[in-house]
């Protein structure tokens, strides 16, 4: 029997892999900047990076929330 992985160790393992996957995808997206191969407008670039920045902000906020999706009402 193996040693049970702690929740923090599991987080680090998974978060590291997923972060590296995102960084690799951003590097690959950067390849599209080559004007010899692609034609694009500043507006198209703004749309792409707005979408990325919006997703990044939403994801970061998920980590900062004290209580996730815990809506309640009190008088």
pLDDT 10s per residue in the chain (75 long)? 678 999 999 999 999 999 999 999 999 999 999 999 999 999 999 999 999 999 999 999 999 986 656 666 777
**Count of domains for the chain:** 1
Please report whether residue 70 resides in a domain: no
* Residue 38 phi, psi dihedral angles, 5° rounding: -135, 150
Residue 73 falls inside a structural domain: no
What pLDDT does residue 1 have? Answer: 67
DSSP states of 52-64 as a string? HHHHHHHHHHHHH
Domain-embedded: residue 15 = yes
- pLDDT number for residue 13: 97
Name the pTM for this structure: 0.78
* C-alpha closest to that of 22 among 59, 64, 61: 59
Which structural domain range is residue 60 located in? 7-64
Q: Is residue 2 part of a domain?
A: no
Residue 74 forms part of a structural domain: no
Q: Has residue 23 been placed in a domain?
A: yes
Q: How far is CA 12 from the centre of its chain?
A: 15
| H-helix segments, 1-75 | 7-30, 42-64
């Amino acid at each position: 029997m193996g040693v049970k992985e702690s929740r923090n160790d599991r987080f680090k393992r998974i978060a590291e892999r997923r972060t590296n996957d995102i960084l690799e995808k951003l590097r690959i997206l950067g390849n599209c900047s080559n004007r010899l191969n692609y034609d694009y407008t500043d507006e198209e670039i703004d749309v792409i990076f707005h979408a990325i920045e919006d997703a990044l902000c939403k994801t970061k906020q998920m980590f900062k929330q004290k209580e996730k999706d815990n809506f309640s009402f009190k008088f």
